[in-house]
Amino acid sequence: MGIFSVVLLVAIVALVGYVITMFNRLVRLKHNVKAAWSNIDVLLKQRHDELPKLVTTCREYMKYEQETLEKVTLARSQVSNARQSGDMAELGVAESLMSNTLGRLFALTENYPELKSNESFMRLQTRISSLENAIADRREYYNDSVNINNIVVEEFPTNIVASKFNFTQAQLFEVNEEDLKDVDIEHLFAA
């Protein structure tokens, strides 16, 4: 075996080794992109599960507020009407209703103070805010992974290996115009 044959054999082995290295790098990058997207997907699912809890908590809290305040307002109106009409029987009933309604309001305030009512809301709000931050971080990581993948897929000579083994560019996570609009919270509470 001559020197030329040895050099040729070493060159072929080096080329095969280089192709294997490029292939393995492309595989690693492809799986990094998939893993980055899976991380976003998990967080989106968690947020999806948490948002109805937040809306329900707000609805219940607002229902409690509105229902109790409506009863107090109704009782107050009945007291005022009874007082203006001079009907003592009606005034007695209205005052009794007002006392009961206020008593219920004060009892509920003692049992479920605003801080406790808001604590659940605050916990959910904090949870969803942390999920939003985590999603933003994961989106950034995903786009970084995609960018690295796309650069390597395009670089020469890796692009030759990428095209031979069907490695393609991944898509960046881009925010569309619809996602930039304000969320219609009013619609969520109306449901």
pLDDT tens for 5-44 read 999 999 999 999 999 999 999 999 999 999 998 887 787 7
Which of 39, 24, 25, 22 is CA-nearest to residue 143?
Answer: 39
Which residue has 């003592």 as its token pair? 88
Q: When comparing pLDDT for 87 and 119, which is higher?
A: 119
Residue 75 pLDDT = 76
Q: And the tokens for 19?
A: 């192709």
Residue 169 pLDDT: 93
pTM, to two decimals = 0.63
Q: What are phi and psi of 169, to 5 degrees?
A: -75, 150
For residues 170 and 124, give the distance between their C-alpha atoms in angstroms, rounded to a whole number.
34
Distance CA 53, CA 154 (A): 45
Q: Tell me the mean pLDDT in the region 52-66.
A: 63
Share of the chain above pLDDT 70, in %: 61
Q: Where are the beta strands (DSSP E) in the chain?
A: none
